[in-house]
Amino acid sequence: MASANALRIEDIAARFAMQAKGPPGGMRTVAAWLAERPEELAFHTVRGLAERLGCDPGSVMRCVRAAGFGGYAEARESVRNLLRLDYQGYRPRVEALRDIGGNRLLDVLQQAAGQNLDRVFSSPLRAEIEALAPDLLAARRVFCVGVRMAYALAHLFTYRGAIAHANIQPAPNQPGLILDQLIDTGPQDIVLVISFAHYSDETLRAARVARARKARVVAITDRADSPLAEGAWRVLRAPVEGPHVMHSLIGAATIIETLLELMLAQDPGAAERMEGFERSLLEFGAYAAAVPGAAVRRRPRRRG
């Protein structure tokens, strides 16, 4: 039997990954899905998981037992216990990062970056991103809220998005402005909120205000039990795994970049708006033009 004290969440994922290599069928479907997101076991019943994956409950039970658990209840409780212990404060993370050390740290960071990117483009997250793009274009207005580290992500979405799309609103950069901007939202608007553990209170408050105004809230967050996910219209779970002290943002940035490119490809007026923006900046000298064929000057070698 599996024990929460003896396992890490990565170990459980590896067990399901092994099962995913088996013969095609419902059990393989369950195993492949749980190998990518084993923490989902904590939030679904057997029947609920089977319905989500389009298979029978028996396939779920067989998969869980093949992964070393006595039953679904044991597997779910093991994962729940691990999630309770999963988050550590900054100091233990810094110490763990230092313990990895040297060239191995670069390898670990590279591996984590690759895995997070792969997860963005795997099902079902890929499908969820693709389905959201036309809704963002059709909304009356689209807002994006993120503070602290997540402000960079919110600014990326609103700055790049507003150049091409008339309905993207500027990212509020002060707590007071967040409330000022969102109190006028309504059912025709979409509000993206971005935060990861630790979850920023300003962003949680923004989500509450948007929901109270009946706006559609899209949460870009890290976990199924994130407080941002509660009551959200859509949830995009950004992969943040890795040894990083304050989580990796590669997955979340890729989600935002992908949304922006999908929107650009689907908006018939985007090309003209972007052309006008570019022309104006060039006219007023905002960009330094590259000189074709210019070579980097090198210092002459000293003869000795």
Average pLDDT, the chain: 85
Read off the pLDDT of each residue in 261-265 and give the average, rounded to a whole number: 96
Identify the domain containing residue 215 by its residue range.
Answer: 120-283
Cα–Cα distance, 192 to 210 (Å, whole number): 10
Cα–Cα distance, 300 to 150 (Å, whole number): 46
pLDDT above 60 for 86: no
Read off the pLDDT of each residue in 151-172 and give the average, rounded to a whole number: 93
Please name the amino acid found at residue 134.
Answer: P
- pLDDT, residue 286, reads 85
Q: What band does 138 get if pLDDT is binned at 50, 70 and 90?
A: very high
CB 181 within 8 A of CB 169: yes
Cα–Cα distance, 32 to 240 (Å, whole number): 19
Residue 82 and residue 124 in one domain = no
Helix, strand, coil percentages in the chain from 3-state DSSP, rounded to 5? 55, 5, 35
Cα end-to-end distance, the chain, whole Å: 73
Cα–Cα distance, 65 to 213 (Å, whole number): 45
Q: What band does 62 get if pLDDT is binned at 50, 70 and 90?
A: very high
pTM of the model: 0.71
Residue 72 and residue 188 in one domain = no
Residue 129 and residue 255 in one domain = yes
Q: Tell me: the pLDDT tens digits for 3-18?
A: 434 567 778 888 898 8
Q: Is 256 left (phi over 0), alpha (psi -120 to 50) or beta?
A: alpha
Residue 191 and residue 78 in one domain = no
Q: What CATH number does the domain containing 60 carry?
A: 1.10.10.10
Residue 131 and residue 54 in one domain = no
